Amino acid sequence: MGAHDIKTDPTPAELPRRQFMVGSLLAGGGLAIGFQIPFAAQAQTAQVPPEVNAWVVVKPDETVVIRIARSEMGQGTLTGLAQLVAEELECDWGRVTTEYPTPGQNVARKRVWGNMSTGGSRGIRESQDYVRKGGAAARIMLVQAAADTWKVPASECSVDRGIITHTPTGRRLSYGQVAAAAAQLTPPTDIPLKDPKTWKLAGQPLSRLDTVDKLNGRQVYGADLKLPGMLNAAIKDCPIFGGTVKAVDEGKVLGMPGVKRVVRVGDSAVAVVAETWWQAKVALDALPITWNEGPNAKLSSASVAAMLKEGLDASEAFVGNEAGNAKAALSRSARRIEAVYSMPHQNHATMEPMNATARWTPQRCEVWTPTQNGEASLAATAAAAGLPVEQCEVYKLHLGGGFGRRGAQDWIPQAVAIAKAMPGVPVKLLWSREEDMLHGRFHPVTQAKMTAGLDAAGNLEALHIRISGQSILAGVAPQNLQNGRDPVAFQGLTPSGDGAFGYTIPNLLVDHAMRNPAVPVGFWRGVNHNQNAIYLECFMDEIAHATGQDPLALRRKLMANHPKHLAVLNAAAERAGWGTPAPQGVYRGLAQHMGFGSYTAAVAEVWVNPEGELTIRRIVAATDPGHAVNPQQIAAQVEGSFAYGLSACLYGECTVKDGRMEQDNFHTYEILRMAAMPQVETIVMPSGGFWGGVGEPTIAVAAPAVLNAVFAATGKRVRNLPLKHTDLKRA
């Protein structure tokens, strides 16, 4: 998930209500409030053992607890951040465990843990500096405590795996023995960090810290949570976008087994509370509900497509990247190449549906939930509870899939509203799969008109990329639009930044005709990089084919001024054997892209049998994230991103009919099966000097590499996704 950053500089007095309401409105887009990490020792009360600082607690048995503010949803952030802290701390990795601080604690301690939002592949790259300083500061304090015990200078002491040694005498103390004394020291103000070239723990392919609990069943997800006296709730929101509840006949279900109450939630949803979730679900299905369908009852995918098509040639559009004069150059070009592409709505389809458990009293509201943004969840809780932030708390659980969906907070107010109807009783709200599919925050629908101008010698002299479609920021954070313009719409196509355009073209224009149908959108893994990479990289192949050039050779010529883009492309091409004969019947395609601060490229190998059935044989992927905290996790994330990206490319499509989504479960929203997953070879090639993301960047090159290989195999250009609608039999 990615988004435009928001940076403010609040005073502590301003923070609790105003700033967290902003976080709620952001719906997970990433609330990056400016702050300083105060490493000052916190007041020690009855806390046993005392913390060394906000990031590190060392227990007497030498267990090291590292606090992780970002969310773990399968991407490995928990382990990666722990590695960075432990690297600077110089502790024994075999004794490391982790815990989540709560957003309420973060407020009370003036945001000592910083930004808790997890999305846009920012979990490590935006917090690496201050979490490393947290580990380094704790190490300095622990060493100083030992030096004070021995009455020697700290400079005479060394530390290795949690054991402090006084070098001249050989005396030794463990971290656990000096932790309490260290917690009383004044924290250092000068906190030097290690050169990554000297890392011993960070940079290594260490096993993830959360794997064992997932394998043995100890890991508790939100859907698993049980509290004493807990009731369960199922909910049904109006299936038509913008519709409301007209009438509910509660009497029809109140006598059903286990049913406790029917609750109207807002103006558009109805919930049933029962002893078990299945009792609530059965009663909800039997509950007569009449809907006010509202203004969008006739909305369809066809009407949405017509709206977007009009935007392709509209006179007004927001400019995202411009060099030279593309329109003038196109008007005089010796030859023009034009194509129109499209990408439909997509669903996040997380394995774990949305859920939250809430307990409300007039004095306090608590919520247990898997969330990508604990601070935004706290804001949503307080607003729904009608209580000050300091009287609310959110307890974050591991996420059974996020992909950007759990950056929104729409299920939190629902859970709190239901709990308010049952004061003092914990109530777990769990969406059904159908509810989860019909009420997602969908990947935006877009079309793109690509126009290239060639000079008399066949050189690319002008390129116009016109995108027409939805704006995520207009839907979830309109306050972040820039004079009406959505900067996120141009991801991967901007002149600079963490998603910079990787080609030098004399005359370039990238613009966006914003068209927003009444389908709620949100941040979806890879965000706008996904379709932007498809549009650009597939069209580059079209230009290469039209001019009789090898696709790699054309790119190399246009990328001469973009060495890091080119380096990953060359690495993937070399490993895949580009330019050498492929196995009989196998065809290759390639793509490159920069997203979330990282450079990525892929070469796909496919074959298509005479019946037009596609097999993706192999994908070679290269990525340069600057620094590689855990190469094994990076490889796993690359593989996972291809599974997600190929699902979208091959099958993913959400269609609208009569104002509602037609796909309501996995039988109508197909995802990639394990048998269809290709072999993935990952090249991790960190060049240093910057921090890029990992979880999302490579998803962008999955589809265009495969689509370009499909063209090589069949001679057919796939411009409208998903690919399942294209007959791949050779003409």
Q: Are residues 360 and 468 in the same domain?
A: no
CATH code for the domain of 128 = 3.30.365.10
Q: Alpha-carbon distance 663 to 433, whole Å? A: 11
Distances (CA, A) of 592 to 168, 173, 500, 508: 55, 52, 12, 18
Residue by residue, what is the 3-state secondary structure of 512-524?
EEECCCCCCECCC
Give the number of domains in the chain.
3
Instruction: Say which amino acid occupies 405.
Output: R
Q: Are residues 187 and 275 in the same domain?
A: no
> How much is the average pLDDT of 46-53?
71
The residue assigned the tokens 């053992």 is: 49
> How much is the average pLDDT of 700-721?
97
pLDDT in tens, 524-550: 999 999 999 999 999 999 999 999 999
Q: Enter the pTM of the model.
A: 0.92
Distances (CA, A) of 403 to 103, 438, 641: 21, 17, 10
In contact, 30 and 374? CB cutoff 8 Å: no
Q: With bands split at pLDDT 50, 70 and 90, how would you rate the model's confidence at 27?
A: very low
Q: Are residues 209 and 308 in the same domain?
A: no
Q: Are residues 211 and 100 in the same domain?
A: yes
Q: Are residues 320 and 466 in the same domain?
A: yes
- The encoded tokens of residue 554 equal 């054309």
Which of 402, 430, 458 delimits the end of a domain?
430
Angle, helices 529-546/551-558, rounded to nearest 10 degrees: 110
The mean-pLDDT minimum among 18-22, 296-300, 385-389, 429-433 falls in 18-22
Q: Is residue 203 part of a domain?
A: yes
The residue assigned the tokens 């509950």 is: 287
Q: What pLDDT is stored for residue 13 in this prediction?
A: 32
Q: Are residues 667 and 538 in the same domain?
A: yes
Distances (CA, A) of 520 to 239, 340, 523, 669: 12, 24, 11, 18
Residue by residue, what is the 3-state secondary structure of 306-325?
HHHHHHCCCCCCEEEEEECC
Asked if pLDDT for residue 37 goes beyond 50, the answer is no
Q: Are residues 408 and 307 in the same domain?
A: no
Distances (CA, A) of 406 to 80, 195, 373, 530: 21, 35, 8, 19
Q: What pLDDT is stored for residue 24 in this prediction?
A: 34
Q: Are residues 226 and 211 in the same domain?
A: no
List the domain range (segments joined by +) for residue 241. 222-294+354-430
pLDDT in tens, 60-72: 999 999 999 999 9
Q: With bands split at pLDDT 50, 70 and 90, how would you rate the model's confidence at 50?
A: confident
- Percentage of the chain exceeding pLDDT 70: 93
Q: Are residues 522 and 552 in the same domain?
A: yes
pLDDT in tens, 354-411: 999 999 999 999 999 999 999 999 999 999 999 999 999 999 999 999 999 999 999 9
Q: Are residues 398 and 496 in the same domain?
A: no
Which of 193, 216, 239 delimits the end of a domain?
216
Q: Which of 447, 457, 466 is closest to 326 using CA atoms? A: 466
Asked if pLDDT for residue 671 goes beyond 50, the answer is yes
Q: What pLDDT is stored for residue 25 in this prediction?
A: 32
Q: Is residue 4 part of a domain?
A: no
The sign of the dihedral angle between the CA atoms of 573, 577, 581, 585 is negative
Residue by residue, what is the 3-state secondary structure of 367-415?
EEECCCEHHHHHHHHHHHHCCCHHHEEEEECECCCCCCHHHCCCHHHHH
In contact, 639 and 626? CB cutoff 8 Å: no
User: CA neighbours within 13 Å on the CB side: how many for 154?
Assistant: 11
- The encoded tokens of residue 409 equal 């907070």
Asked if pLDDT for residue 560 goes beyond 60, the answer is yes
For β-strands 446-454 and 335-343, DSSP reports them as antiparallel
Q: Are residues 446 and 567 in the same domain?
A: yes
Q: Is residue 105 part of a domain?
A: yes
What DSSP element (H or E) covers 330? Answer: helix 326-332
Q: Alpha-carbon distance 52 to 38, whole Å? A: 13
Q: Which of 263, 430, 442, 267 is closest to 347 using CA atoms? A: 442
Distance, CA of 602 to chain centre: 21
Q: What pLDDT is stored for residue 711 in this prediction?
A: 98
Instruction: Say which amino acid occupies 686.
Output: P
Which of 399, 430, 461 delimits the end of a domain?
430
In contact, 245 and 252? CB cutoff 8 Å: no
Q: Are residues 87 and 171 in the same domain?
A: yes
Q: Which of 159, 149, 184, 192 is closest to 91 using CA atoms? A: 159
